[in-house]
């Protein structure tokens, strides 16, 4: 409420309106906490991938070559307008890398078709170093110079209902 309008209501009424607004905002914040919001950085909370949860993808990443740097897992809608487009990711999990196999729980905003992109920033500099960093994508599509390492959304799309669906991806390094 702006100051020009505040003189129209007695102090008690203003407090009631402010309190009602705060309660409504709190209710929205609590209900929004259950769903994944766009561009949300998440913890790798495995409890969100229990059988009674969903929709989510349980992503197992094989072939991580080193315990250095970080692993980033990002979810996208598998559409031409969103897959690997800058700023169009849904959620992101970033954790310290551990050589071998790591598993991630990626909650999703609803049923649909999604793509997962995984990146291993081996030296942890936050930049893509083609000669050392690794990557993986849902469905393990072929990656070549012809597609510039960016396969079509039709190759990576994983249909997910209201369940927790498990997928495995294989890291690739140059």
86-140 pLDDT, tens digit per residue, is 999 999 999 999 999 999 999 999 999 999 999 999 999 988 888 889 999 999 9
Q: Mention every residue, 6+ apart, whose C-beta is less than 8 A from residue 171.
A: 61, 62, 63, 64, 65, 118, 120, 134, 135, 136
Least confident of 9-13, 32-36, 40-44, 61-65: 9-13
158 or 18: whose pLDDT is higher? 158
For the entire predicted model, the pTM comes to 0.77
The Cβ of residue 155 has, within 10 Å, a number of other Cβ atoms equal to: 17
Ranges of beta strands (E only) in the chain are: 40-42, 56-64, 70-77, 91-96, 100-107, 112-121, 134-137, 158-160, 164-170, 172-173
Q: Cβ neighbours of residue 144 under 8 Å, at least 6 residues apart?
A: none
Cβ-contact 130, 50 below 8 angstroms = no
């Amino acid at each position: 409420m702006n100051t020009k309008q505040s003189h129209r209501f007695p102090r008690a009424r203003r407090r009631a309106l402010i309190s009602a607004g705060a309660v409504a905002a709190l209710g929205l914040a609590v209900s929004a906490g259950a769903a994944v919001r766009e561009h949300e950085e998440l913890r790798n909370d495995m409890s969100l991938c229990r059988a009674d949860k969903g929709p989510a993808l349980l992503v197992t990443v094989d072939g991580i070559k080193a315990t250095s740097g970080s692993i980033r897992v990002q979810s996208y809608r598998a559409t031409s307008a969103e897959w690997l487009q800058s700023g169009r990711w849904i959620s992101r999990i970033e954790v310290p890398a551990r050589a071998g196999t790591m598993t991630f729980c990626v909650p999703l905003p609803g049923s649909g078709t999604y793509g997962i992109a995984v990146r291993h920033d081996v030296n942890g500099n936050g930049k893509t170093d083609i000669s050392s960093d690794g990557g993986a994508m849902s469905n393990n599509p072929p990656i070549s110079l012809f597609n510039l390492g960016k396969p079509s959304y039709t190759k990576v799309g994983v249909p997910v209902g209201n369940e927790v669906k498990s997928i495995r991806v294989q890291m690739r390094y140059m």
